[in-house]
Structure 1
């Protein structure tokens, strides 16, 4: 089943996706409510919603399928790391041994989530704007210190994630050995809807990975293609790691990290040794399609013009107040 959230005439509605459009859930019910209720209850509510008259998808504005309490973004594709180390971080190539030891993630901005067809503004001060093709898993129930086997029961579903990235801001931040932060928090696309886990089980291989085709194009020209099954860890391992010594909660979103083979421009800049294709510019349209989930399509627009950030002053390092 596919759950969606949309806005029409200022009214926000949640519902299910059917053959002829969107079918509304009862007023006031959100997709996050259904996730917290658990998958069996959500499927029951979704089945009942099909009795509501369909609303054409192209007649409304799709919002992120749910308002996620937290968003973690992993870096689970080795090929992506290889390219980005050279193209963004300024390294000489290769993957740090620490990458292989455990999944790595950072927390990104849950207030910056945008819908499947929303415009995305270039972050202030950025000249090297980029996309990142990912799939996100949505946690279906609370849990702490979960084993990977237990984590399988905590998967509610999946959605497409585009981690928009200001590569120049990111590169500066990561040289401070803390980040990324402002390089990543301007926008994250989620959508077009949330697909329940049962729909994607037929794609699971013998090693527990989902063999989903992933593609991204800019202005109609395909830039990258990969399989989700090229992840270094399956989603159950990511949920398990995120929960080590702490909690994951129903509705939390965990991104796979960017796929390889052109899943972002930064990877290609590293492997090719030049900014080709060039950074995104206002007017560019980025389209991502993940098999079994759907397509998101966002247009890049001009961002706001802000004054440069003031640099730090040179501290005198006095230890006593001056009289």
Structure 2
């Protein structure tokens, strides 16, 4: 089943997609409300919507992020991506041994999520705008200290994530050994909808990886292509790691991290590929097998630059 959130006739609604038509969920349910029910009840609710709500053509709505998540964790689970970005940032080769020891993630801003076809404004001060091709898992049941086998059962569905990145802002702040922060704090595409886990079950291999083809195009040119199954850990392991000493709850989003083989421009830069950063007017299209397609167009910033934040003052010595 495919669950979407959208704006139609001035109202935000949640519904189920069937044959390019949306059927509103009953009783004013939001997508997060539906996810909190768990997979069995969500499927039942969706079937009731299909059988009772009048269809709304997909062409008449604006797709929003599939749900409003309480948290967004973004992992870095593709070794090939790490190799390329390390070369791009430092010029050195190889991957830090710590990467292999356990999954690594950062928290990003749920309030910065945008829909599948929304414009992306270049953030102030950015000259090196980049995309990141990812898939995100969405939690459907709460849990803590989960083992990987149990953790996979807590995933209710999957969607596409584009973790837009201001590489020049990110490079500065990460030299402080903290972040990324403002380099990622302006837009992340989530969409086009949530595909429930049962739809993709047949794509799992024997080790629990989802074998799905992922592609990214810029202005119609294919620049990246990978398989989701090239992750270093399957999603069950990522959920289990996130749950160590911390609750994962319904609606939480966990990104796979950026695919390899051109999943972002920074990786290509690190491999010596001459391709420019994104500019206003560029169109980025991502497609993931079994999930769908998102397309966003880069635009210039609509607001004037804010006053700069002054540099840190000289360190005071007052102890009084």
TM-score tier by shorter-chain length is over 0.9
1:143-182 correspondence runs (5 A): 143-182=143-182
1:24-103 correspondence runs (5 A): 24-51=24-51, 52-87=53-88, 89-103=89-103
SS of aligned partner of 1:50: helix
1:236-251 correspondence runs (5 A): 236-251=236-251
Residue 318 of structure 1: aligned partner = 317
Count of matched residue pairs: 317
The answer on 1:201 being equivalent to 2:201 is yes
* Cα separation, partners in 2 of 1:174 and 1:20, compared to 1, 3 Å: closer
Residue 262 of structure 1: aligned partner = 262
The TM-score, its normalising length taken from structure 2, stands at: 0.97
CA–CA distance in structure 1, aligned partners of residues 74 and 319 of structure 2: 43
The TM-score, its normalising length taken from structure 1, stands at: 0.96
Residue 105 of structure 2: aligned partner = 105
SS of aligned partner of 1:295: strand
Residue pair 2:91, 2:270 contacting (<8 A) in 1 also? no
Structure 2: gaps of 5 or more residues: none
User: Once the 2 structures are TM-superposed, how far is the Cα of residue 177 of structure 1 from its aligned partner?
Assistant: 0.1
Residue pair 1:125, 1:306 contacting (<8 A) in 2 also? no
- For residues 175-208 of structure 1, what are the alpha-carbon distances to aligned partners after superposition, in whole Å with 9 as ceiling and x for unaligned? 0000000001100100000000000011111111
Residue 129 of structure 2: aligned partner = 129
User: Once the 2 structures are TM-superposed, how far is the Cα of residue 19 of structure 1 from its aligned partner?
Assistant: 1.1
Task: Work out which of the residue numbers 291, 300, 303 in structure 2 matches 1:302.
Answer: 300
Residue pair 1:39, 1:156 contacting (<8 A) in 2 also? yes
Residue pair 1:71, 1:253 contacting (<8 A) in 2 also? yes
Task: Work out which of the residue numbers 259, 277, 280 in structure 2 matches 1:279.
Answer: 277
SS of aligned partner of 2:183: coil
Residue pair 1:13, 1:27 contacting (<8 A) in 2 also? no
CA–CA distance in structure 2, aligned partners of residues 79 and 103 of structure 1: 15
User: Once the 2 structures are TM-superposed, how far is the Cα of residue 10 of structure 1 from its aligned partner?
Assistant: 1.8
SS of aligned partner of 1:183: helix
RMSD: 1.0
Residue 5 of structure 1: aligned partner = 5
CA–CA distance in structure 2, aligned partners of residues 310 and 216 of structure 1: 38
SS of aligned partner of 2:244: coil
Structure 1: gaps of 5 or more residues: none
CA–CA distance in structure 1, aligned partners of residues 309 and 212 of structure 2: 42
